[in-house]
Each structure stands twice: as C-alpha cells, then as structure tokens.
A and B are shown apart, each in its own frame.
Chain A
Amino acid sequence: MTSSTSSVGTAAPKLRLGGDDGWGYAPAPESTDHVELRDRYGLFIDGEFTDAADGRTFETANPATEEKIADVALASDTDVDRAVAAARRAYDEVWSKLAPQERGKYVYRIARVLQERSRELAITESLDGGKPIRESRDVDIPLAAAHFFYYAGWADKLNYAFPGRGARALGVAGQVIPWNFPLLMAAWKIAPAIAAGNTVVLKPAETTPLTALKLAEIIRDAGVPPGVVNIVTGAGETGASVVQHDGVDKVAFTGSTEVGKLIRRALAGSGKHYTLELGGKAANLVFEDAAVDQAVEGIINGIFFNQGHVCCAGSRLLVQESVADEVISKLKDRMETLIVGDPLDKNTDIGAINSRAQLDRIEEYLEIGAAEGAEPFQTPCPLPERGYWCRPTLFLRASQSHRVVQEEIFGPVLAVQTFRTVDEGIAMANNTPYGLSGGVWSDKGAKAFRVTSRIRAGVLWANTYNKFDPTAPFGGYKESGIGREGGLSGLHAYLQPEEAA
C-alpha cells in the first residue's frame, strides 16, 4: 500500500493535478429512433395545419450540428389576421359558452398527452434548441405538463379567483415566447389563458418552433375545439403583427427588455391588457456563514443551467470577502467536472448555444469583459468541432461599472464580485436596471429572510436556485417586466372581475 499521507511539497495542494486520464464516461446518447420529425411544418390555424398564405418558409436548424431540421411556414400579417379571426370566432361561439368543467377536461387531456409523449418532446426540444437532454427530460417537459395540470384545476373554480366578485375571461390573447424554454414557455402562456376561458394566438421563437408545433398536434388530437389555440411561426415581424393586432385583447410577451419596451410603447393607449417578462441580471449572494459546498452547487445551477440562456439566471456572483478565495477555488474545481457537448448525451451538462447570433453576442461580451479589466477564467474542456459552443466562463474581479456586470449576456458567463458587509451586498445586488430574481446563501434563517426582503426582485431563492413550480408566481420589477405568471397571479393576468366586464 502506498502512503496515504504523502506531502505534495511546498506548492498548495490541488485536486485533479493528473488531469482526467483514467476512468471516464463513454458516450451515452439518447436514441432518436422513434421521434418523428417532418421536413415541413405549417401554421396551426383554426384546428388545421396550413401553409403561409404567401407560401414563404424559414429553416430551423440543430445548433449542435448546424444542420437543417425542417422548413417552417413564415406567417405574414394575412396569416395572423386569419389566426386572430379564428381565435375570436372560437371565443365567441364555442369556448366562452362551454361549461367550465368541460373546458378543464380539455386542459387536463393536454397535460396527460404531454406526459405520454414526454420522451419524444424532450428529444425534439434538445435537437431544435441545443439544451441538454437531462434538462429537457427532467425540467422542461415535466414542468410544462405540470402547468397544464395546475391551471386545468382552476378552470371550474374561477369564482374563487376574485372572491365575492366573479370572474370572466379577457377574450383573445396574443402571445409571443422566446427560444430558451420553447415548450415550457408555450405551456406558461397557453395553460392559464385557455383554462381561464380565453382563446390564443401564440408565436414561438424562430429558432425553436418544433415543440410548439408538436403541442399543436397534441391540442388537435385532444379534440380541443378549432381556433381555441392557434400557433403562427415566424420571426420578429410575425410577433409584432400578433402583438399589434386590433383583434387581440391581451398581450403576453416573454423575451428581451429591448423588445419589451417596443411592445409597451406600441400598446400605449390601446386598452389591451399585457404582461411582459423580460431580461434579468440576478445577483447570487453568498455570505460567510453559507454552507459552502452547497452554495457552490447553487452557483453552478444558477448560471450554467440551460447554457445560461435563462432570464432569471444567477449571472452575478456576490461573495463575501472573508470566504471569497474558498468559494472561487471550489467553484473553479466544480467547473472542471462540467461536460460540454452533444445535447442528446445523457451526461452532458452544458449543451449548444441556441444560435449563431446568440453565440456572437456572448463572444462579444467575452471580449468586452476582458477589455474592461475583469479577469476571465475558462475550463479547458473539449468542444465539438461543429455547432455553437461556449465554455463555462467566470469573470473574476468584475466591478459594478463593468458592462459584463450591468448587462444581460444570456450565456454561460458569470461575473464575480466581492462585498464586505451585508448592507454592501444588498446595495450591489439592487444596483441594476433589472429586478427579476436573486439568490441568498446563508446558514442563518433570520438573515436569509431579512436579506431577501430587501432585494428588489420578483423571485428570490434562499439556499437554492432556479426552482420553478406552477403554483409560484414569476415575474420582475423594474426593467425585468410587469405582471406575474404562475399561480393565482398568473391566472389573474387572463381574467377580469365580473363587474369590470
């Protein structure tokens, strides 16, 4: 037996000195055998799939291989007109007249079919968007089904939404969703809307339309009356057309703050209801009394979940100076074990960046951060040759005045700063135009409550991060948006009290 107490000399001991030669993990790709993907997808309007009126299409590709998956119909104003008209007709003639418990049955049915087809949906999500199968399988799809289950239960209980006042739907909802959680965002939008009695026109993101179109198949197969859910695919112009359409009573948008501001301007004076869920630059505050190893895990989940393409990502690490060296060294070591690569491999931790455009944007910030004087750190993990990839990155010694601290990067890039006192930590956390989310790590319960109550953000996690549940409201302060999704608040966004109707 060799000595287990050998000293390593004067240099500070370091783990993984010998690299990772030895026992490793073989590729474990999820099989795509029984996933049916068509070469061409149409718009889903009035219960049927149709081509765009002008026949135009766009391509959706796999960001891990840069290969085209399918041609998808590109909806113009004419198509959006048709979709809104179908939604209006369905609302007036069918959906608003249906007994609430019958409406609930349809929503439950969608939830169950999502579960039944979960494997196929998870694989499609990873193929089209680049996220690791571990996440699409364990997070996106189960949560999407959970949202339908949760709001299905509300369908026949709307009189309890505004106790004593009664409630009714708004009418036709125009909804525009982003590419980071394609099916989950569709569920967040569609489930409360139709459970509350509205009909919808939803536009998925142009880089990730496929799971929304599979959801359209599910909705059709579930026998949901034609026109209750319409899905129009396309890019920004299609989205603008949906949002600005006169026939839309309510707008729900999730995406960038830039576009959110345009929408709010466009809606001014229109009388339309709206909710906006926009960008974020959340602080994850680690105090000296935190359980360090679990905090490090939370930091990892906070920023590297879904390649950092998360509006509520913990993209700023604020760590108390007295434990900063320990936390940062453990964080670096943990980063060494992250596997970047094939989204369909069950062992992949960080998948592909969603698009060339997004990768360009992230890489621009990598240059900006270094030029500003922050100290970049990346692990030397191997990357595939084709596709869009970004190594997990830290910017150490970042400062409040740096753009990489102020601006949303939407990638696996964490700005690391230190603070000395509780008050200073809170002040730094709040010194941002955003206010979507945040995290606090402390073993002291009283401190966790006191600090979270002083951070101006819609969602705060204590000793955990990125926890989502359909019963919990989600949404932001300041430039992170207006309104809440999820829970009873998310239902209110699709209802009005009876007397106001």
Chain B
Amino acid sequence: MEPHAQTADSGPQAAPFASPSIDAVGVEERVARLCSRSIKKEAKLQALHLALSMIDLTTLEGADSEGKVRQLCAKALQLHAALPDLPHVAAVCVYPALVGVAKRALEGSGIHVASVATSFPAGQAPLEIKLLEVKRAVEAGADEVDMVISRGRFLAGDLAYTADEIASVKEACGDAHLKVILETGELGALDAIRRASDLAMRSGADFIKTSTGKIKPAATMPVVLVMLEAIRDHYLRTGQRIGMKPAGGISTAKDAIRHLVMVRETLGQDWLDPDLYRFGASSLANDVLRQIVKQRSGIYQSFDDFSM
C-alpha cells in the first residue's frame, strides 16, 4: 500500500514519494507502553541469547591498531570461556584499514566482518573518495558496509542527492550488504528520520542504522520505533525485508531486551534474527553475558570476571 501523500516536500528536489507524518508525543507513549512489558525467567534468558547473537562487536577509534582489532576478534570468538555453549556475535565492525586483520582473525567462524566507510563518521568527503573507500573495504574482505549519509545535503532538502549517493554506494558494495547510517541525532525530528528511512530503503539499503555512535542522542527508543515502522510499511508495500541496526547508547541487557520487545510487537518474529536485526555496541556484550550468568546461577558476578 502506498503511504498516503500529505506532507508536500518543498523545493525542486522533492522526493517522488511522501512519507507519513509522525506524531512525536504518540511515539513516546507507545514506547512507554512497550517498556512496561515485563520479561522474566526463561523468556529473559532466551532474549539474552538472542541479543548476544545480534551484536556487531565494534571498535571505531582513531587509536585502533592491529593488536586492538585482534583482541576484539578473539573476544568475538570466545565471549566467555566459562560458557562455551553461547551463540556467537553477528559481526565485528572496524575501520576499512583494519578489515584484513579482522577477516584473517575470524576466518571460518561464521562471524561477519563489517566495515564503516564513506568517510565515517562525518561523511564530509567527495563521493569518488567515498566510493573508493567502500571498494577497498569490500576488496579487503568486508561482508557488510556501514555507510553514513550526507546529512548536510539531506537537511538542505537535497533528497535526490542523498538517494543517488546511497544507490552509488550500494553499487560499489557488490555482494556486500549495505547498512545505511542516518545519524538520527543530527536529523532533528522524527518526521525527518522517517523520510530518511524511506529514502534509504528505496535507494538500496539492506539495513537502516540509527547512528555512528559519535553523536548523542543516538539509538533512542522513539527513533528506533519510527524506523521499525518505516521498515514494516516498506515490507507491506514491496515484500522486501529490510534490517534494522540501532547503534550507540544501548549498553545494558535491559535496554537490549526492550528493543527486542519493540521489534517483536512492531514487525513480528521474522525480524528477531541476526540477519534482520543488529545491535551496534561496544559494551553491551559483557552486560548481556553477566545477565546470562545471573539467570543461570542466580548470582551477579563482578565485571572483572568478564574479559574485555
């Protein structure tokens, strides 16, 4: 079903479609109600395992080195030695220059290598350079590419540029999956976030992703709900299942479970799958592990009992 048209995009670069308007107060109320779900016992343990399998274990620092990335990969391969029966994380996410290191470290594990690209995090580089960066990341073995949109052009109303930019990056990705980072903390309003989500999905995104993790606020619940509803409407219109990746600000198991509740009630069971839902996070994994240990043993252990 075509979303009904009512918000006319102004200017000559208006998109060839109109996104539905979003009532921010209503979104917050829905989120509050979703947050009131009480997840206990077996349901909680199951959710924790699911959350673990959806994590993109991430390091995106200027100081990242081969040693740091190898250490992160080792953590991905063995999350907690005392619990060998855990699911593995979905991917390890690094800068393009370190993709090769991660690829070698994770060989044969089934864990994907994701790379940010397109002049992450600001995206302020000429398109040719962004495309070259994407190609290099994919050549080095990236299974997934996390691009940033040019927020300046989007906010200036140049939606056609944004659409073309995403389509070009998608082409440069080849077989690699494309996650499109909207950097929702810079878009200002839920209406803009919805429009950017629709634009990204129509332009070739396999996943839409909230944030770089460098800007606050990042993956807030209202923002993620609006993006999930965009994914749902896109699916109902086209039959295409687009994935979702909240990133930044989700650091506790409790937060992660709330996200899973939101996914379950907005999109259904199909999306409770690492192929369609990811958490971009650096510290979430250990909190989830600690909760799993607590659920199994009844005792909270010190954070020092969990490896970095």
Contacts and interface: CB of A to CB of B under 8 A. Distances in A.
Interface of A: 1-2, 4-8, 12-28, 134, 138, 288-295, 297-298, 322-323, 325-326, 329, 337, 346-347, 443, 463-464
Ranked nearest first, the 3 interchain pairs of A and B with the lowest CB-CB distance are A294-B26, A28-B38, A26-B43
Contacts of B269: 16, 18-23
Contacts of B3: 326
Which of B36, B46, B242, B269 has the most chain A CB atoms closer than 10 A to its own CB? B269
Contacts of B270: 15, 17-18
B20 A293 contact: yes
B6 A15 contact: no
A337 B38 CA distance: 15
Given A23-B50, A26-B40, A288-B6, A4 B272 contact: no
Contacts of A337: 265
5 contacts: A13-B237, A15-B236, A23-B47, A326-B1, A463-B23
Given A28-B40, A298-B26, A346-B37, 20 more contacts: A4-B240, A6-B240, A6-B241, A7-B239, A13-B235, A13-B238, A14-B236, A15-B235, A15-B270, A23-B43, A25-B43, A26-B44, A28-B39, A291-B21, A292-B4, A294-B25, A322-B4, A337-B265, A463-B26, A464-B29
A91 B275 CA distance: 71
B164 to A, nearest CB: 20
A325 B26 CA distance: 21
Nearest to B204: A5
B6 A443 contact: yes
B268 interface: yes
A443 B23 contact: yes
A449 to B, nearest CB: 16
A293 B37 CA distance: 20
Nearest to B229: A293
Interface in B1-17: 1, 3-4, 6-7
Residue from B26, B27, B264, B275 with most neighbouring chain A CB atoms (10 Å): B26
B30 interface: yes
Contacts of B41: 26
Nearest to B46: A23
B80 interface: no
A483 B237 CA distance: 49
Contacts of A5: 206, 240-241
How many chain B residues sit at the interface, stated as a range, is 35 or more
Contacts of B240: 4-7
B86 interface: no
Interface in B42-84: 42-44, 46-47, 50
B36 to A, nearest CB: 6
B119 to A, nearest CB: 25
Contact of B21 (A13, A346, A443): A443
B254 interface: no
Most interface-central of A19, A20, A347 (chain B CB within 10 A):
A347
B187 interface: no
A22 B241 CA distance: 18
B127 interface: no
Contact of B243 (A4, A15, A17, A27): A4
A291 B22 contact: yes
A463 B112 contact: no
Nearest to B237: A13
A355 B171 CA distance: 63
A23 B275 contact: no
Interface string B220-248: 00000000010010011111111100000
A289 B5 CA distance: 8
Given A1-B275, A18-B270, A20-B269, A25 B37 contact: yes
Contacts of A463: 23, 25-26
Contacts of B242: 4
B260 interface: yes
B197 to A, nearest CB: 13
B275 A15 contact: no
A1 B112 contact: yes
Q: Which of B25, B43, B276 has the most CB of A within 10 A?
A: B43
A19 B264 CA distance: 11
B235 A294 contact: no
Contacts of A322: 4
Contacts of A25: 37-39, 43
Interface string B263-288: 01101111010011000000000000
Contacts of A346: 36-38
Most buried by B among A5, A18, A325, A463: A5
Contacts of B44: 26
Contacts of A291: 20-23, 26
Nearest to A28: B38
Most buried by B among A28, A138, A288, A294: A294
B296 to A, nearest CB: 16
